[in-house]
A and B are shown apart, each in its own frame.
Chain A
């Protein structure tokens, strides 16, 4: 605690900071295309497509070979390990396809959750073993950022102090190792939306979790300017009987972040959780219109909320490739606007009239 043993040189810090800034450049967010093999299985099953390596390659190819203009909305793509070494139909490695569009390549590096004994079904995340060597290799193979997902849940007894502290610690270890290898760590402490808790409860838990995350990052000497945060938005639980407006979600979310996320963090890229494509865009847009000072970029890191329509349009058929790409580009464009607070869903009021919805009497 008394002496600093510098972890990064000035040049290393600059590199990390520059990468982070490029990913969250104004109007841009992240395409989370890092679904594990198992998760892709669930997605493909919904459109009756077999979960084999070629089908997984084909679908990612559809996304990555979209019109180069998607780089106006997409600053980074998160890859799954398998995908990093696959090629497009034209024979080019996927990282190169993405980089050629000026988009930064990222890689999921965690190895899934593991049970925490003595808790009510809570988990930590594994993947630290040999992580340094893996990061060095991924950097050589074209990656400039990484992602690691920790999971917490809300219930009567959760999240427990152990779950919060353990996940915060493991996220900080991961972040520290990434930075040593020139990779910007995306820190993802997801609090699941499962449950019947209300908005206030989610906000409270989110504040506690994020406070612990940033204390752990400080303890582990992580360079915040070279990180990104991927949190949940603050929403009520899925089975909560009360419904909350986008403005309420936005205020609760931004308030929680203002109380916990230091200004030196360049960007916050929300996960979409169980939200529909439109819901995720509308919420992101509302977040970017909140009349509170927001010192970080607030953008997206969406998986399903960017791909659902594309997947549905594809149906596993080559003939649907263009329709699928159009659907994807459309969502990318909408989320790019939402990341600037400029998304106007047809039939919605203009910004000034939306503002009045924020001046609620409720003090978050």
Chain B
């Protein structure tokens, strides 16, 4: 605690900071296309497509062959390991397709959740073994940022102190290792929306979780300017009987972040959780229009909320590919507007009431 043993050189810090800024440049966000093989199984099953490597390749090709319209909407794409080494029908590596349009390549590096014994169904996330060597290789293979997802849930007894500190710690270890290799860590402490808790409860827990995350980052000497945060928005639980307006979600979310995320963090890119495409965009827009001062960029890192329509339009049929890509481009453009607070195509603007900040 007394002496600093320097972790990163000036040049390394500059590289990390510049990368983070580029990913979240104004109007841009992240396409989370890093669904594991298991997650892809669920997605493909919904549209009656078999979960094979080829189908997964074809599906990602639909997204990556979007035209130049996405260049101003997407700052980075998160890959799954398998996808990083796949090619288009024409033999062009996916990594090259993405990089050639000025979009940065990211890689999911965690190895999934494992249970925490003695808790009520809580988990931590594994993947630290050999992570340094893996990061070095991913950097050679074109990745400049990484993602690691931790999961917490709200219930009468959760999240427990152990779950909060263990997940915060593992996120900090992961971040520290990534930065040593010039890779910007996207830090994802997802608090699941499952449950009947209200907005206030989610806000409270989000504040506690994020405070722990940033204390751990400090303890592990992580360079905050070279990181991005991927949190949940603050919402009521899925089974909560009260419905909240986008403005309420926005105020609760921004308040929670203002109380916990240091201004030095370059950007916050929200996960969409179980939200529909439109819901996620409307919330993101409200967040960016909220009257509280926000010292970081607030954008998206969406998976389902960018891909759901594209997947449905495709249904595994080659003849639907163009239509599917169009659906993806459409959502990318909407979210590009939303992350600038310019997506006003819903409801009556004069009805938007953000209310008093002291109620949060």
Given contacts A2-B159, A293-B263, contact A259 B3 (CB under 8 A): no
A267 to chain B, nearest CB (A): 13
Within 8 A of A (CB), among B331-360: 356-359
A160 to B295, CA, bound (A): 32
Contact A164 B1 (CB under 8 A): yes
Contact A263 B2 (CB under 8 A): no
Binds B, one of A26-34, A110-118, A208-216: A208-216
Binds A, one of B49-57, B253-261, B276-284, B308-316: B253-261
**A258 in complex: contacting residue of B219, B255, B263, CB < 8 Å:** B263
Contact A4 B200 (CB under 8 A): yes
Q: Does B69 interact with chain A (Cβ within 8 Å)? A: no
Contact A1 B295 (CB under 8 A): no
Contact A10 B356 (CB under 8 A): yes
Contact A295 B160 (CB under 8 A): no
Q: Which residues of A contact B188 (CB under 8 A)?
A: none
B250 to chain A, nearest CB (A): 15
- B contact residues, range: 35 or more
Contact B356 A263 (CB under 8 A): no
Task: Write the chain A residue with the least CB distance to B6.
Answer: A200
Q: Which residues of B contact A362 (CB under 8 A)?
A: 10
Within 8 A of A (CB), among B1-52: 1-4, 10, 13-14, 17
Task: Write the chain B residue with the least CB distance to A208.
Answer: B1
**B259 in complex: contacting residue of A161, A205, A262, CB < 8 Å:** A262
A224 to B357, CA, bound (A): 13
Binds B, one of A38-46, A60-68, A90-98, A151-159: A151-159
Given contacts A214-B211, A259-B264, A295-B263, contact A1 B2 (CB under 8 A): no
Contact A259 B262 (CB under 8 A): yes
Q: Which residues of A contact B243 (CB under 8 A)?
A: none
Contact B157 A14 (CB under 8 A): no
Contact A201 B157 (CB under 8 A): no
Q: Does A277 interact with chain B (Cβ within 8 Å)? A: no
A362 to B14, CA, bound (A): 10
Q: Which residues of B contact A201 (CB under 8 A)?
A: 3-4
Binds A, one of B70-78, B129-137, B202-210: B202-210
Q: Which residues of B contact A295 (CB under 8 A)?
A: 263, 293, 295
Contact B161 A1 (CB under 8 A): yes
Contact B295 A263 (CB under 8 A): yes
Task: Write the chain A residue with the least CB distance to B158.
Answer: A2
Q: Does A319 interact with chain B (Cβ within 8 Å)? A: no
Q: Which residues of B contact A207 (CB under 8 A)?
A: 218
Q: Does A253 interact with chain B (Cβ within 8 Å)? A: no
Contact B358 A160 (CB under 8 A): no
Within 8 A of B (CB), among A309-360: none
A274 to B294, CA, bound (A): 34
A81 to B255, CA, bound (A): 36
Contact B211 A218 (CB under 8 A): yes
B242 to chain A, nearest CB (A): 16
Q: Which residues of B contact A158 (CB under 8 A)?
A: 2
Given contacts A214-B211, A260-B218, contact A10 B359 (CB under 8 A): yes
Q: Which residues of B contact A204 (CB under 8 A)?
A: 3-4
Within 8 A of B (CB), among A1-45: 1-4, 10-11, 13-14, 17
Q: Which residues of A contact B211 (CB under 8 A)?
A: 214-215, 218-219
A219 to B159, CA, bound (A): 15
Q: Does B224 interact with chain A (Cβ within 8 Å)? A: yes
Contact A14 B200 (CB under 8 A): no
Q: Which residues of B contact A208 (CB under 8 A)?
A: 1, 218
A3 to B356, CA, bound (A): 23
A295 to B293, CA, bound (A): 7
A200 to B6, CA, bound (A): 10
B318 to chain A, nearest CB (A): 49
Contact B14 A363 (CB under 8 A): yes
Q: Which residues of A contact B295 (CB under 8 A)?
A: 263, 293, 295
Q: Does B81 interact with chain A (Cβ within 8 Å)? A: no
The residue in A1, A155, A205, A259 that gathers the most chain B C-beta atoms within 10 A of its C-beta is A1
Q: Does A84 interact with chain B (Cβ within 8 Å)? A: no
Contact A17 B1 (CB under 8 A): no
Contact B2 A156 (CB under 8 A): yes
A205-247 interface code vs B (CB 8 A; 1 in, 0 out): 1011001101100110000110000000000000000000000
**B263 in complex: contacting residue of A4, A159, A225, A263, CB < 8 Å:** A263
Q: Which residues of B contact A363 (CB under 8 A)?
A: 10, 13-14, 17
Given contacts A201-B4, A263-B263, contact A211 B215 (CB under 8 A): yes
Q: Does B164 interact with chain A (Cβ within 8 Å)? A: yes
Q: Does B201 interact with chain A (Cβ within 8 Å)? A: yes
A40 to chain B, nearest CB (A): 34
Contact A361 B10 (CB under 8 A): yes
Q: Does A261 interact with chain B (Cβ within 8 Å)? A: yes
B206 to chain A, nearest CB (A): 11
Contact A17 B358 (CB under 8 A): yes
The residue in A3, A214, A259, A361 that gathers the most chain B C-beta atoms within 10 A of its C-beta is A259
| A–B complex contacts, Cβ < 8 Å, 24 sampled | A1-B164, A2-B157, A3-B204, A4-B204, A160-B1, A164-B1, A204-B4, A205-B1, A212-B215, A215-B211, A218-B211, A218-B259, A218-B260, A225-B357, A225-B358, A258-B263, A258-B264, A260-B218, A263-B261, A263-B263, A263-B293, A294-B263, A363-B10, A363-B14
Closest 9 CB pairs of A and B: A211-B218, A218-B211, A4-B204, A204-B4, A215-B215, A264-B258, A258-B264, A363-B10, A295-B295
